[in-house]
Structure 1
Amino acid sequence: MSELGDRAVLHDVYDETGSRVYHDVSVRDTHEVRELVALVRRTPGAVLELAAGSGRLTLPLLALGRHVTAVELSAAMLELLSERLAEAPERLRERCAPVQADMSSFALGRRFEVIVLGTTSISLLDEEGRAGLYAAVREHVAPGGRFLLSTVDIVRSGGVAPTAEPEAEFEVVGASGRAYRMHEYWPTEADARTVTVFPAEIGDEDPVTVCTTTVGVLPADRLEAELVGAGLTVLARHSLPDGGWRHHDVLLEVGVKV
Structure 2
Amino acid sequence: MSENALRVLGTASHVARLLGGDDAVHSLYGPEGSHVYHFLTRYDEADAEAMLRVADGKSGTLLELACGSGRLTFPFLERGFDAVGLDASPDMLKLFAERLEEEKEDGQDYTGRVSTVEGDMVRFELGRRFDFVTLGANAVSYLDAEQRVSLFASVQAHLNPEGRFLMTVIEFPGIEQRETPFETLVVIPTGADADIPMLLTLLDYVDPQELLRSSNFLAQRVADGKVVDSKIFTALSRVLPPALLRQELEVAGLKVVAQHEVVSEFQIQASFAIVPKIYLLEASL
Q: Structures share a fold, TM > 0.5?
A: yes
Q: Which residue of 1 aligns with 2:281?
A: 252
How far, CA to CA, are the matches of 1:174 and 1:206 in structure 2? 15
Q: Which residue of 1 aligns with 2:120?
A: 102
Q: Which residue of 2 aligns with 1:115?
A: 133
How far, CA to CA, are the matches of 2:136 and 2:190 in structure 1? 20
Q: Which residue of 2 aligns with 1:238?
A: 260
Of 48, 52, 71, the residue aligned with 1:56 is: 71
Of 208, 215, 224, the residue aligned with 2:230 is: 208
- Structure 1 residue 187: deviation in Å? 2.0
Contact (CA 8 Å) 1:163, 1:188: kept in 2 or not? yes
Q: Are the structure 2 counterparts of residues 235 and 189 from structure 1 closer, same or farther at C-alpha, using a change threshold of 3 Å?
A: farther
- Structure 1 residue 215: deviation in Å? 1.2
The aligned length equals 254
TM-score (norm 1): 0.89
Unpaired stretches in structure 2, ≥5 consecutive residues: 1-14
Counterpart of 2:25, as a letter, is L
Q: Are the structure 2 counterparts of residues 58 and 164 from structure 1 closer, same or farther at C-alpha, using a change threshold of 3 Å?
A: farther
Q: Which residue of 1 aligns with 2:241?
A: 219
- Structure 1 residue 92: deviation in Å? 2.1
How far, CA to CA, are the matches of 2:166 and 2:214 in structure 1? 25
Q: Does 1:132 align with 2:147?
A: no
Contact (CA 8 Å) 2:220, 2:229: kept in 1 or not? no
TM-score (norm 2): 0.81
How far, CA to CA, are the matches of 2:179 and 2:62 in structure 1? 35
Percent identity between the two aligned chains: 31
- Structure 1 residue 42: deviation in Å? 5.3
Q: Does 1:197 align with 2:226?
A: no
Of 148, 163, 166, the residue aligned with 1:145 is: 163
Instruction: Classify the secondary structure of the residue corresponding to 1:186.
Output: strand
Deviates more, 1:205-214 or 1:111-120: 205-214
How far, CA to CA, are the matches of 1:39 and 1:188 in structure 2? 32
Deviates more, 1:58-67 or 1:203-212: 203-212
Deviates more, 1:147-156 or 1:199-208: 199-208
- Structure 1 residue 179: deviation in Å? 3.2
- Structure 1 residue 154: deviation in Å? 3.1
Deviates more, 1:212-221 or 1:169-178: 169-178
Contact (CA 8 Å) 1:182, 1:197: kept in 2 or not? yes
Q: Compute the RMSD of aligned alpha carbons.
A: 2.6
